[in-house]
Amino acid sequence: MKTNFDKKKALGVFAQYGFRKTSVGDVASAVGLSRQSLYKKFGSKEELFQTIITEYSEEIVAQAIKILEETANDSKSRILAALDTIIGQHVDLMRASIHGSELVQMSEQIMSSTGKGIMPKVMNKIAEIIIETHEDRTPEQAEDDAFILYTLAKGLSLTVATYAEYEAGIIRAADRLLD
């Protein structure tokens, strides 16, 4: 069931009020649709949220893969830009709300239950780039480095106060692992 509205705006509403206190009407107002049209299409707030998370995750992963496949920039810049797309650009949204970590946890549950495995696609692509640009790395080491960078980016997003802190931390890690 494809959505045809700004999913980031909808997620902003959930971040503002938390899942329990967000109404379908709140989401509808934020995205410029009627409450009835959202209920008609999704049936429940839970299905609406699950669809938003699934589609938004697929979109940002596709963007990250596209960034990783561009060869105009050096490998480290592409890796950092991809991590920024899937994680970094959401730091301020998560940190601006007391409900940010709740949404992250719910999102991870949704993505693991759907079995899509989309984040491994990004990590596999990062590992491929590391192997291509670092001849001294084995495939296992490149996979470990990709996992470390992804996990660190995710951890930073939950612990830093600002995007600037996230960016400084992930750049420091990338400098350490990729130089």
In a domain, 153, yes or no: yes
- Here the tokens at position 163 are 């995007």
Measured at the CA of 158, the angle between CA 157 and CA 163, to 5 degrees, comes to: 35
In a domain, 7, yes or no: no
- Here the tokens at position 88 are 């970094």
Q: Does 79 score more than 60 pLDDT?
A: yes
In a domain, 12, yes or no: no
Largest interatomic CA distance in the chain: 58
> Which residues are CB-contacts of 173 (< 8 A; sequence separation ≥ 6)?
148, 149, 152
Domains contained in the chain, number? 1
The per-residue pLDDT for range 45-73, each reduced to its tens digit, is 999 998 888 888 888 889 999 999 998 88
Residue 156, domain extent: 45-178
In a domain, 17, yes or no: no
The per-residue pLDDT for range 135-160, each reduced to its tens digit, is 999 999 999 999 999 999 989 988 89
Give yes or no for a contact between 116 and 58, defined as CB atoms under 8 angstroms apart: yes
Task: Round to whole Å and give the CA distance between 113 and 111.
Answer: 5
In a domain, 160, yes or no: yes
The CATH number of the domain holding residue 55 is 1.10.357
Amino acid 107: pLDDT: 79
In a domain, 37, yes or no: no
Question: Which residue's entry shows tokens 């939950």?
Answer: 158
In a domain, 26, yes or no: no
Q: Does 105 score more than 80 pLDDT?
A: no
Q: Does 119 score more than 80 pLDDT?
A: no
In a domain, 24, yes or no: no
Question: Which residue's entry shows tokens 């970094």?
Answer: 88
**Mean pLDDT for the chain overall:** 89
